[in-house]
Structure 1
Amino acid sequence: MQLERNPAGTPEPSPRGRMRSRGARGIPGWVGAAPLLLFLAVFLIIPIAANVVTSFRVDGKFSLAAMAQLLEPQYLDAFIQTINLSLLTAGVGGALGFILAWALATGSKPAWLQNLVLSFSAVASQMGGVALAFAFIATLGVQGLATQLILGLTGWDVSEDVQLASFNGLALVYLYFQVPLMAILLLPAFGSLKKQWPEAAYSLGATRGRYLLDVALPIMWPPIVGSLLLLFANAFGAYATAYALAGGRVNLVPILIGFFISGDVMSDESFAAALVTGMIVIVVTAMGLRTLLERRTNKWLR
């Protein structure tokens, strides 16, 4: 922008510069976000709206039959099983991930080891689907490498006690990505704890336990609970890993949705949409609670 000087010597924008400034001020702020808003509309908002409409239409007419079918025992059991699996993996994965994040943030360790753990966590937290299922089958399946190695050394057949195509087997596989995801989510929160806080607490006579209980925990619990909610939603919506390992042997909502969408016998588009609507309600509720907790955390960590 070209500048001109007024008689007092203060630089002023040239006429061309003033025109550009007025033009920039005249552009609405949402224009820059238009591509993102368009993307969200096409790939998120419109599909969700279409799914909700489909869940209330049967044979082209408005009907509550598909939604009412969710209350049948086998489908209620699917929601209960999915919620239980999500709660279990979120709780165990959250506890182990918290320990891992604490060690990475506060412990003394070689730089190469920290970089290695962080790199692995970043990759493992996003791994899932058929690739993860195959990796566990090749490791702990009936003919898996670890199974055969342990069988040869100890005579114990791990595959008899660790059945991947079961509720507990799925929980074990889910922990592979839940633990590193929790660690990645908590690392920024641990990094935001100011070093002066424990020093100030100790100078006032507080013990380490008192500092953790009265200072660190009240600040850390919102990001901890928020991360647990994200882990819950992450496990609740997992489909490919569960389907590749268990198929129809574990009654889970994502697997049922796949059956009703693409199944030759069980095909029912309206009821599949009703199942998805139920999932949306649960996941959106969890994410809404996480958003509220994030706002509380940001007030402390500014």
Structure 2
Amino acid sequence: MTETRHARRRSELLPALGAAPYFVFVGVFLLLPIAVNLLTSVRTPDGVFTLEPLLRLGEEQYRSAFWNSTQLSVVTTVIGGALGLLLAWALATTQRPAWLRDGVLSFTTVASQSGGIPLAFAFVALLGTQGLLTTAIAELTGWNLAETFRLSSFTGLTVVYLYFQIPLMAVLMLPALSGLRTEWQEAAASLGAGRARYLKDIALPILTPATAGALLLLFANAFSAYATAYALAGGGANLVPILVGFFVSGNVMMDYSFGAALSTGMIAVITVAMVLRWLLTRRTTRWMQ
């Protein structure tokens, strides 16, 4: 009996030991930095505890930064989500030609993880003041695109963000779309439901939690993006990630406590989005089992 208990305990401990490196990684590189950031946001450089950095978030300039970041995130989430959902639907329902589907899927996977300085440079080389497309349009039509479109503007940042938002939405939605069983559509057809009725009463209700969860992840992804926006706009864009960079590593206005306070605000926004996504994902998983 004792040997049986020991064997049972060993069988229960083995999965936990296998997961131990993951929990160590999460603790060291996620939970610990968050804890240090929260502590820094309520302490002065002299070690005195204060709420002043957090209270400064209510000032007009910083409220505006959060509003601008939210606007940019919402716009790119809505547009990228709609176009990415269409792309995912096409990939899930189209099998031929196989080479085209595989090529689009491969590009989508890579583009969803693109960003930062390389992406910003690519768009500058294409649509910048002396970009290839800008120069070509000027030579062909005489119209200077740079006079009406700037990559550092809200519209320009939106276009650049869509480069990775659309593929990311497609990657997130592809498993959910692939999980729609053909038996459901066949059963609906046998009961007299057309394609539109099947989509309205069966497919969309099942896909709604997954879609909402993917949109929340897109929002968090855009809200926290830093390198791309900084490379394109620098200090010209009043966005929270850029302000954090100024206060943490700037040459003029370094303020670690307030930079941590701004990061705390971002963490709060992203945490809410991720918790909502987790709840929606749990609901989707039930349908797919």
TM-score, reference length from structure 2:
0.95
Per the alignment, residue 6 of structure 1 pairs with: none
Matched, 1:129 2:116: yes
> Could you say if the C-alpha distance between residues 293 and 18 of structure 1 is closer, same or farther in structure 2, counting changes exceeding 3 Å?
closer
One-letter identity of the residue aligned with 2:197: R
Counterpart of 2:159 (choices 150, 167, 172) is 172
Per the alignment, residue 188 of structure 1 pairs with: 175
Matched, 1:231 2:224: no
Query: Structure 1 segments of 4 or more deviating over 3 A?
Result: 17-29
Looking at CA atoms only, which structure, 1 or 2, has the larger radius of gyration? 1
> Could you say if the C-alpha distance between residues 277 and 148 of structure 1 is closer, same or farther in structure 2, counting changes exceeding 3 Å?
same
Per the alignment, residue 44 of structure 1 pairs with: 30
User: 2:169 and 2:14 mapped to 1: Cα distance?
Assistant: 38
Counterpart of 2:87 (choices 71, 75, 100) is 100
User: 1:36 and 1:55 mapped to 2: Cα distance?
Assistant: 28
> Could you say if the C-alpha distance between residues 39 and 153 of structure 1 is closer, same or farther in structure 2, counting changes exceeding 3 Å?
same
Q: Secondary structure at the match of 1:193?
A: coil
Per the alignment, residue 265 of structure 1 pairs with: 252
> Could you say if the C-alpha distance between residues 294 and 143 of structure 1 is closer, same or farther in structure 2, counting changes exceeding 3 Å?
same
Q: How many percent identity over aligned positions?
A: 58
User: 1:214 and 1:18 mapped to 2: Cα distance?
Assistant: 51
One-letter identity of the residue aligned with 1:61: V
User: 2:95 and 2:27 mapped to 1: Cα distance?
Assistant: 47
How far residue 148 of structure 1 moved from its aligned partner, in angstroms, is: 0.8
Per the alignment, residue 217 of structure 1 pairs with: 204
Contact 2:116 2:226 in 1 (8 A): yes
- How many residues matched? 286
How far residue 27 of structure 1 moved from its aligned partner, in angstroms, is: 3.6
Counterpart of 2:18 (choices 10, 32, 36) is 32
User: 1:148 and 1:273 mapped to 2: Cα distance?
Assistant: 42
User: 2:27 and 2:12 mapped to 1: Cα distance?
Assistant: 25
Encode CA deviations 1:236-271: one digit per residue, 9 max, x unaligned. 110000000000111000000000011122100000
Is there any run of 5+ residues in structure 1 with no aligned partner, and where? 1-16
How far residue 35 of structure 1 moved from its aligned partner, in angstroms, is: 1.2
User: 1:109 and 1:50 mapped to 2: Cα distance?
Assistant: 52
Encode CA deviations 1:80-124: one digit per residue, 9 max, x unaligned. 000100000010000000111111111353000001100100111
Q: Secondary structure at the match of 2:236?
A: coil
How far residue 30 of structure 1 moved from its aligned partner, in angstroms, is: 2.3
User: 2:5 and 2:182 mapped to 1: Cα distance?
Assistant: 49
Counterpart of 1:286 (choices 267, 273, 277) is 273
Per the alignment, residue 202 of structure 1 pairs with: 189
Per the alignment, residue 296 of structure 1 pairs with: 283
TM-score, reference length from structure 1:
0.91
How far residue 22 of structure 1 moved from its aligned partner, in angstroms, is: 6.4
Contact 2:94 2:101 in 1 (8 A): no
Matched, 1:67 2:49: no
User: 1:44 and 1:153 mapped to 2: Cα distance?
Assistant: 52
User: 1:258 and 1:18 mapped to 2: Cα distance?
Assistant: 57
User: 2:252 and 2:12 mapped to 1: Cα distance?
Assistant: 58
One-letter identity of the residue aligned with 1:41: G
Counterpart of 2:42 (choices 31, 53, 56) is 56
Task: Quote the RMSD (CA, aligned, Å).
Answer: 1.7
User: 1:242 and 1:117 mapped to 2: Cα distance?
Assistant: 26
> Could you say if the C-alpha distance between residues 34 and 203 of structure 1 is closer, same or farther in structure 2, counting changes exceeding 3 Å?
same
Q: Secondary structure at the match of 1:205?
A: coil
Is there any run of 5+ residues in structure 2 with no aligned partner, and where? none
> Could you say if the C-alpha distance between residues 86 and 19 of structure 1 is closer, same or farther in structure 2, counting changes exceeding 3 Å?
closer
